[in-house]
Structure 1
């Protein structure tokens, strides 16, 4: 086991050099004289830059030579390079043009956004959207954001924040504002917005919560490439916020997702259950019509290559923030909606557990406009599945693969580019042609850049059946799984164990590349990632089973998985560490109170401590109510009995039983789990003389190289070498536990 600070820092630096793929795009097909074909593949990656203490984005390019459905040769094209300032980019349908949304800080320190149009050889035009001052910042997130070319390649669609009036003093006159007219009616109302008075400066402005704090009122805008004119899309109902927009067939209109924001906005990030519907705006008439029912949530509309069909994900009837989705299809000719794949309550005979992805790939249709390729969690793996839309038949093309996690990046003319990784192997890109219908399992993958598994780290998936006394009476047949990573075996020394339950709670660990488990394995620890009952990827019944049972079922599952592993004798039972953030911190706090002598140390990031006090500080109060087993209504008033019930499920009530040393890390801007939750735990432990450390006001997830690495403090704590020193911890912990 490694405990030296410099060696730990070196290991972390080494592992941090492996980038994570963000997107991949297949360029237009070029036919050669001898009959062969080739195309270029463009990919973007994210990587930590420890020297600059920031994330950087880089691009890699590849070339692919192929015949009809067989790849002849593929490989990198030149060296990778860093991308600076690009917020969004999108190629036109033919590949002739590229639209780029770029952020820039001018000499005065002012942030500006530019929308650029690039040809094959140069920048064709650039519009300073900030100076134009028609709207606020353009949305670059994957919740609302889009940068969509029209089919004719003459217009671009994007989403931006609605322009807010500039606040001016009550005592400034119009000449002081630079306006010569004395009569407001003579002002150009299209380009001038009357300043708001100072009374409006402090009005509360709702936003969409965690990670969307500056986004309140999204508006759809259309850029005319030929004239550089930008116009707002009219006709959208006032009670919805539009996003994820695409062009309808023949550019006749715009199809988008609209989220209800009445009576007030709830947190939207990672919450795929928000009430929403598909809408269509006719560009000639500026009339908006609703396509889907609006009963459930929808997202990710994707148009087929023949422009006859539209698929999208639709939520089910459970109220949890994430759940199993159905795949719906809209026939644009007949105006009929049908369900292609239903929500799966229990895994089917062939093992299919349902669709759990948050978003579909931008291009996910096969060339035949009949099949769709989706990556989704299937138990503790992420698989690629092919769905035949006329028949509803689901075929996995990665079942049985040694790779644990697959993700579709792009598909064009049945050529797919995917990202794949395993817990001990960094991400790499592969390409392959989708075979004909019924033969999907015969796909042959070709690797674009070889990435070898890290030596001396092994992984496997463990399945657990809860003991009879811990089974849910309403869902008695449910199982759960864990992913186990183990370091190089030493016959004389058993490795310490790190137990990590995920947050959510309806989230999941998939068997893919993660920095935290790998870092601990390289330090000599075994790592157990627990997908307790309630995790996504195991059927809708598993998600339903946890409602009303948080603090009990999830806690017992994690403890049962840890104890089962200890019984096998492969880890040191006297050196068990616990880590968890958000709901994982909720589980962890329950564990150290219910099993006070089991865990040597506990590290938590923004833990949920008190459901009653969390209710008034979180951006998703409905989530708190539902997971605790209660109905939620926006106009609901809290009662003493409800607060008592919420408190009874909270780990803060059992804090007097805690003896485990605790390290608390707090993000000061967290709107989902307010830092006051962690402070509440800190004060309760401090008053009871339990060893506790707290790190707050963490803003950057990157640690500068000039700061010493104190991961050894945690290492020594679990090894029993020392107690947590009284010294300021640095952001390295935030990186590892984020």
Structure 2
């Protein structure tokens, strides 16, 4: 009989998971004379009854940013976003907006439309269903940008498959292999840039003229390249990023990977574009960036909408999948060389700027202008805390806009949008505080400026009281700099044995546990666990030295760091020997499996989501280079596992310790995981089962690496809770 027995719904998980999460914000209109701004804030909400993720939009009318004068929100309206709306873009002038729309037809297929609106009047519209497939709006490939004249825009969509017409009885084109972009992006094989143009109608003609053309290259490069993240800089010039295939014909997975062969390109459109042309051939120029993976081009315009400077993010090509980010700039009005505006920080002190650790892309409009200076605002990790920082575009000077002040909670900050002047909409949360939508207004020589809460979620009285009984802190681990752990626990004194300590290990390994609101983590704390989230060597936010230090030492150094955090919490009296459990996903699952194999008497139970169990058998992963790079082995196009490399990877993997495992194990697998194929978890399940160990496994159809579907995430939490209860009761 299985030890996994359902004990019913969680007391708090559903309420925590259904709280609205701010995802983006756009300033629709700002009136300088009155100081009134209109902001559109989007939220994501999990609906467990319908088993879907829903989105809503709040339109907020904001008054004076001075809290002494008035409340910031003058009015608020809520709209339930239509699933037809794929993307929404406000033009720089604020006079019009563009919409990408997908509308189901009577047969369930989708019709696609591009629309341009001026106020409540439609200025141009065209059905583009026959021109291409789905729109791409993700951070990696998505494009949505107006020309300076606002008479054309660019977007990314999936090209239609090659037609078999004219091929006679040749069946091969239909089945020929086309690589895709990997985990959560497997439907993206042929992304193409499209330009939508329109012009004013003639007198007496009420139908605006609109055309759409796909962009191609006059001289295609030898290595296949796919473009995305396009932004117009003039009427005929765009800056884009190009994803290149490797020499062996792969498109390595890009999700969470900053080391891919990507570069910045300039595309030049012909000055004349025939309305009936289906394809426009462009001249193309690739930036020489010397061994760097580059992305996220952003153009700074002056007050007359003349382009002055191009900025972009970069990481070293190859090496660890994520590392410290650099920010580059190119003068568009002169002939000066590219500038390295923010360099890698190698070994910062505890209080120093640790370097840039941004999201994959900058926000659509990252610029602020005040006091005769221009700044780029980014969200970045500062040790275990996401914060907002400003970067002077002239000298690269960095300021932490949202530092932790004495007596202030451990806020994590997420950038949602800017007004281009001095106001920022962001979300902030702590491990015990749900996300609030906040207006941050910057003042001269005063940081963080004024902070005004625009919107906060409503909690039940019972949940609020439960959260008030929790405490969160960061605890440094002595003699293992810069390792630290975030601990969430009850404030109330303990009578008798200490609560069980749940060590939750993050994946990556180059990611981080942060001081933000995470429903699953918080639900475990409300179940009575002391939850520890260690940032071991290799975690982001601590300096490049410690990312590089882990390479070749996975399964040893990171394991030792996790053990050290457990020992420190025991020594501090926050935990107790013999009352330890562990949970982790991906590389965190790799570490959880290592911990129970190398320390078989330490943990009472373990839960693993899509764990890496045998690094030498990850050939089917969308990031097949990961095992080689992270474990210190050379990797080039055509590299494959040899007996020698497999021996090293096997020795560094949890499977090498399977005979020593005593801890009961629950495995949670996504059936459609392309990053860590489910064969890894299934192999571990059978290996443990064959050795008579206590093991169970849940497999979630149509779920990918993160197992983040509404029902799947809930069941994963409840299963983990019930598994731990079975062996800690």
- TM-score band, normalised by shorter chain: 0.7 to 0.9
Answer yes or no: is 1:375 the counterpart of 2:383.
no
Q: Is the 8 A contact 1:8 1:523 kept in 2?
A: no
Runs of at least 4 residues off by over 6 Å = 3-7, 67-71, 707-710
Report the equivalent of 1:180.
Answer: none
Q: Is the 8 A contact 2:587 2:611 kept in 1?
A: yes
For 1:91 and 1:543, locate their aligned partners in 2 and report how far apart those are by CA, in whole Å: 39
After TM superposition, give the deviation of residue 317 of structure 1 in Å. Answer: 6.3
**Equivalent residue runs for 1:569-648 within 5 Å:** 569-614=573-618, 616-648=619-651
Secondary structure, counterpart of 2:588 in structure 1: helix
Report the equivalent of 1:430.
Answer: 438
Distance 1:715 1:266, change over 3 A: closer
Distance 1:309 1:80, change over 3 A: same
The more displaced of 359-368 and 708-717 is 708-717
Answer yes or no: is 1:129 the counterpart of 2:132.
no
Answer yes or no: is 1:283 the counterpart of 2:269.
yes
After TM superposition, give the deviation of residue 699 of structure 1 in Å. Answer: 2.7
The more displaced of 696-705 and 36-45 is 696-705
Distance 1:398 1:703, change over 3 A: closer
Distance 1:480 1:195, change over 3 A: farther
Distance 1:76 1:642, change over 3 A: farther
Output one character per residue of 1:478-536: Cα deviation in whole Å (capped at 9) or x when no partner: 42111111134243153221101110000111111111111111111111111100011
For 2:350 and 2:192, locate their aligned partners in 1 and report how far apart those are by CA, in whole Å: 45
The TM-score normalised by the length of structure 2 is 0.88
For 1:245 and 1:419, locate their aligned partners in 2 and report how far apart those are by CA, in whole Å: 27
Report the equivalent of 1:140.
Answer: 137
Secondary structure, counterpart of 2:577 in structure 1: coil
Report the equivalent of 2:58.
Answer: 60
Report the equivalent of 1:541.
Answer: 545
Distance 1:167 1:683, change over 3 A: farther
Answer yes or no: is 1:240 the counterpart of 2:225.
yes
For 2:89 and 2:69, locate their aligned partners in 1 and report how far apart those are by CA, in whole Å: 26
After TM superposition, give the deviation of residue 266 of structure 1 in Å. Answer: 0.8
Report the equivalent of 2:451.
Answer: 445
Output one character per residue of 1:243-294: Cα deviation in whole Å (capped at 9) or x when no partner: 111111x323111111211322111111111122111112237321123425
Distance 1:348 1:440, change over 3 A: farther
For 1:102 and 1:551, locate their aligned partners in 2 and report how far apart those are by CA, in whole Å: 47
Report the equivalent of 1:410.
Answer: 417
The more displaced of 278-287 and 598-607 is 278-287
Distance 1:441 1:635, change over 3 A: same
Secondary structure, counterpart of 1:548 in structure 2: coil
Report the equivalent of 2:205.
Answer: none
Output one character per residue of 1:582-628: Cα deviation in whole Å (capped at 9) or x when no partner: 111111100001111111111111100001111x1111111110111
Answer yes or no: is 1:162 the counterpart of 2:169.
no
**Equivalent residue runs for 1:14-413 within 5 Å:** 14-31=15-32, 35-66=33-64, 72-75=70-73, 77-85=75-83, 86-130=85-129, 133-167=130-164, 197-226=170-199, 227-235=209-217, 237-238=220-221, 239-248=224-233, 250-263=234-247, 264-284=250-270, 286-293=282-289, 295-306=291-302, 307-316=307-316, 319-335=319-335, 336-347=337-348, 350-357=351-358, 358-367=360-369, 368=372, 370-401=374-405, 402-412=409-419, 413=421
The TM-score normalised by the length of structure 1 is 0.87
Output one character per residue of 1:343-398: Cα deviation in whole Å (capped at 9) or x when no partner: 11111585100001122111111125632111100100011111112222111121
Secondary structure, counterpart of 1:641 in structure 2: helix
Distance 1:721 1:347, change over 3 A: closer
After TM superposition, give the deviation of residue 109 of structure 1 in Å. Answer: 1.7
Distance 1:719 1:287, change over 3 A: closer
Output one character per residue of 1:29-77: Cα deviation in whole Å (capped at 9) or x when no partner: 125xxx5320111011111100001111111121111279997432273
Distance 1:552 1:574, change over 3 A: same
Q: Is the 8 A contact 1:8 1:711 kept in 2?
A: no
Secondary structure, counterpart of 1:134 in structure 2: coil
For 2:701 and 2:403, locate their aligned partners in 1 and report how far apart those are by CA, in whole Å: 40
Give the count of matched residue pairs: 677
Partner residue of 1:420 out of 424, 428, 437: 428
Give 1 or 2: higher strand fraction: 2
Q: Is the 8 A contact 1:316 1:326 kept in 2?
A: no
After TM superposition, give the deviation of residue 195 of structure 1 in Å. Answer: 8.5
For 1:341 and 1:403, locate their aligned partners in 2 and report how far apart those are by CA, in whole Å: 26
Cα RMSD (Å) of the superposition?
Answer: 2.6
Distance 1:349 1:509, change over 3 A: closer
Q: Is the 8 A contact 2:260 2:318 kept in 1?
A: no
For 2:527 and 2:515, locate their aligned partners in 1 and report how far apart those are by CA, in whole Å: 20
Output one character per residue of 1:631-685: Cα deviation in whole Å (capped at 9) or x when no partner: 1011224321111111111110110100111111111111110000001100100
Distance 1:197 1:488, change over 3 A: farther
Partner residue of 2:468 out of 438, 443, 455: 455
For 1:510 and 1:573, locate their aligned partners in 2 and report how far apart those are by CA, in whole Å: 26
Distance 1:711 1:244, change over 3 A: closer
